[in-house]
Amino acid sequence: MTETVLSIRNISKSFGGIHAVRDVSFDVYKGEVLGLIGPNGSGKSTLFNCVLGQLKPDAGGVTVTGQDVAGKRACELSKLGVGRTFQQLSVFPEMSVLDNLILAGQEHRGSMFSRLFGPSDAGLTEEADRMISFFRLGHLRDELAGSLSYGQQKLVDAAMAFMANPALVLLDEPAGGVNLTMLGHLKERLKTYNREHETTFVVIEHNMEFVMSLCTRIVVLAEGAIIAEGTPEEIRANQTVIDAYLGS
Amino acid sequence: MKQLKILGLVAILAGLIIAPFTQATYGTYVLSSWLVFTVAAMGLNLTLGYAGQISLAQAAFMGIGAYSTALMTMAGLPWIASVVVGMGLCFVVGLILGYPALRVQNHFLAFVTLAFTTLAFLVMRNEEWLTGGIYGLVGVPRPSVAGLSLMDGTRYYFFTLGVFILASLSFWWLVNSPWGRAFKGLRENPIRANSLGVDTRLVTLLAFAIGAAYGGLSGALMAPLVQYIDPMSFTLIISLKILLMVVVGGSGYFFGPFLGAGLVIMLPEFLRFAEAYYLMIYAALVVFLMVVCPSGLLGLLSRGIAAIRSREPAERGDLKEGAQL
């Protein structure tokens, strides 16, 4: 695990007088599942948005597989191999599950014009079916995504993030609002995918049980700065982290 | 089900071929009008129905297409050349008009496109040296195909039908291609689409440009049909009429504009018996339709089919798998 996929270097971001992120640096390596946790207002989302190019940091830089992502649009980041999921449900409700997955992968197949003159599924039906089976959504393949339950839509959302075979996937609160059974299923699938494809994950999550059992390393933010970094066991035993969450 | 659909299409096509022989000159003209406006509504259906970008500028694009055709064919140039120029102009203007859509949405975008329609109308009315001003352009010739004159109304109907079929097939191919999926992605969840690699800026511009080009084609068919064009044929009220066709038929459904244009064009003809009251009845029917089926006639049909299917035993696997998912 030495190949750096995501490198965050000295990122600082302020909003007026509030220092949302202060001089944060860390690397994420190929195949790693990194959890980014911290109490509310700790700067997780600001950092996430800096990585995704949605916010321009005041200082520092972010590279993905060695390429600077500053000023990149979301679609350009996707082409660089960055997949993501959203906190809120983010499927295409009036399209079938299959079409959701094909759309998730089609923009990575050939040029815009070759897609226009190529097959209507951009040659992705087989791959989409594999992904649907992987997330055990086969029985919902032709259903409208908007007609599925909240948890099922979360699974579709996750499956979409992998359709372009990304090097890095940013999962923004994947456990939010998902019932325990579904959560266990999602975690197991993410772990399997990570093991089989060596895809790097960065997970923002408030569900500690989910983070501790999914991630291989955890970075803890508080008041915009890193207060701890280590394995789930180390973080669990870290007094600074306990103080940050519970108050010293 | 697929066979049933093909059978239905063949029946409709057969009906369209037979129709002019059952009609007098005026009936054939009304049918031709329906075909012409369906092409314009098809374009708006792409911009609004598939890509989710509101536009009140379709009449202006029809105007650009119609004036290009009138000016060029009256100067002795072939119709096909005027179509290429008209559609090309509309494509470029549509591309430019798409830029505000990158910054504003919904009613703000509606006002931007409304302003464009007004601007286009003013150019058509005031630039007399080019457009003939309020008097318009008289004597637009109808094209000939392989030496066969289309001055006869029935012949021109079949010519329009041919172009209409080509336009419909192109539209079908477009909306069922990966581009069509990207247009729908833009409509349903632009942020998610962008995060998946869809260049939403480019797709927005293309939705406007291609929709506008269909408007141009419609205008290029309209000018030789009417043989006289003036600015009043391309005002905001016509844009609203095309919008009504899309919405009444079913925005985002392939056949929505076909049905919507049929209703908007034909209904006044069927209401002629009501004489002075026909517009009031027409307006009341439109209000009723919009209240009963805001997703349009095809939306209503789709809901009906879904309701019938929901009475059948459920076959969704998730209901069987229960707690597993």
Q: Where are the domains of chain B?
A: 30-313
pLDDT of residue B311: 74
The rounded distance, in Å, linking the Cα atoms of B109 and B115 is 10
Q: Residue B12, SS3?
A: helix
- DSSP code of B152? S
Query: What's the pLDDT at B315?
Result: 53
Q: Please state, in angstroms and rounded to a whole number, the distance separating the CA atoms of residues B49 and B171.
A: 13
Structure tokens at B43: 């374009």
Q: What is the dihedral of CA B50, B55, B56, B57, to 10 degrees?
A: -100
Per-residue pLDDT of chain B (325 residues; tens, 9 = 90+): 788 889 999 999 999 999 999 988 999 999 999 999 999 999 999 999 999 999 999 999 999 999 999 999 999 999 999 999 999 999 999 999 999 888 888 889 999 999 999 999 999 999 999 999 999 999 999 999 988 989 999 999 999 999 999 999 999 999 999 999 999 999 999 999 999 999 999 999 999 999 999 999 999 999 999 999 999 999 999 999 999 999 999 999 999 999 999 999 988 888 888 878 888 888 888 888 888 888 899 998 988 888 887 776 655 555 455 444 4
Give just the sign of the alpha carbon dihedral A212, A214, A216, A220.
negative
**Hey, how many other C-beta atoms are within 10 angstroms of the C-beta on B172?**
13
State the Cα–Cα distance between residues B240 and B283, nearest whole angstrom: 13
Q: Could you tell me if B222 and B156 are in contact, meaning their C-beta atoms sit under 8 angstroms apart?
A: no
Alpha-carbon span B212 to B91, nearest angstrom: 6
| Pairing, β B148-149 against β B144-145 | antiparallel
Helices B200-226 + B58-74 axis angle, to 10: 50
pLDDT in tens, B53-80: 999 999 999 999 999 999 999 999 999 9
Distance CA B296, CA B258 (A): 12
Could you tell me which residues are beta bridge partners of residue A14? A19
* pLDDT the model gives residue A70: 82
A68 bridge partner residues: A63
Concatenated DSSP letters of B50-70: IT----S-HHHHHHHHHHHHH
CA-nearest residue to B203 within chain A is A112
Q: Do A181 and B199 touch (CB under 8 A)?
A: no
Is the CB of residue B1 less than 8 Å away from at least one CB of chain A? no
Query: CB-based contact (8 Å) between B149 and chain A?
Result: no
Tell me phi and psi for residue B245, to 5 degrees: -60, -45
Name the residue of chain A whose CA is nearest to B197's CA: A75
CA–CA min distance A248, chain B (Å): 40
Q: If you compute the radius of gyration of chain A from its CA atoms, what whole number of angstroms results? A: 18
Residues of chain B in contact with residue A150, where contact means CB-CB under 8 angstroms, are none
d(CA A144, CA A92): 9
Phi, psi of B114 (to 5 degrees): -60, -45
Residue A217 near residue A35 (C-beta atoms within 8 A): yes
Backbone φ and ψ of B229, nearest 5°: -130, 145
Question: Under a CB-based contact definition with an 8 Å cutoff, are residues B145 and B86 in contact?
Answer: no
Instruction: Choose among A67, A30, A70: nearest CA to A50.
Output: A70
Smallest Cβ distance to A136: which of B181, B194, B325? Answer: B325
Judge whether B318 is closer than 8 Å to chain A, CB to CB: yes
Look up the CATH architecture of domain B30-313: Orthogonal Bundle (1.10)
Residue written as token pair 């993501």: A84
Give pLDDT, residue B285: 84
Q: CA A5, CA A202: separation in Å to the nearest integer?
A: 11
Q: Which residues of B touch A182 (CB under 8 A)?
A: 325
Question: What pLDDT does residue B323 have?
Answer: 42
Structure tokens at B316: 């969704």
Task: Pick from A97, A139, A172 the residue to mutate for testing the B interface (most B CBs within 10 Å).
Answer: A139
H or E element in which residue B260 lies: helix B256-270
Q: How many CA atoms lie within 13 A of A182 on its CB side?
A: 19
Using CB atoms, which residue from B178, B317, B321 is nearest to A122? B178
How many interface pairs between A and B have CB atoms less than 8 angstroms apart? 108
Which chain A positions have a beta carbon within 8 Å of B198's beta carbon? 75, 103, 107
Would you tell me how many other CB atoms lie within 10 Å of the CB of residue B300? 15
B238 and B59 Cβ atoms separated by less than 8 Å: yes
Task: Give me the domains of chain A, ranges plus CATH numbers.
Answer: 4-90+164-246 (3.40.50.300)
Rg (CA), chain B: 21
Contact flag A136-B324 (C-beta cutoff 8 Å)? yes
The two structure tokens encoding residue B31: 């049918």
Distance CA B257, CA B242 (A): 9
pLDDT for res B322: 45
The whole-angstrom separation of Cα A187 and Cα A178 is 11
B178, B198, B317: residue with CB nearest A120: B178
Neighbours of A114 (CB within 10 A): 11
- In chain A, what residues touch B189 (CB-CB under 8 Å)? 90-93
Is B182 in CB contact (< 8 Å) with chain A? yes
User: The whole model's pTM is what?
Assistant: 0.91
For residue A41, give Cα distances in angstroms to A47, A179, B75.
Answer: 11, 25, 70
Regions of chain A with pLDDT less than 50: 1
What are residue A64's DSSP bridge partners? A6, A67
For residue A101, give every residue at least 6 positions away whose Cβ sits within 8 Å of its Cβ, in sequence order, or none.
A124, A128, A131, A132, A156, A159, A160, A163
Whether residues B188 and A94 touch (CB distance < 8 A) is answered with yes
ipTM confidence score = 0.91
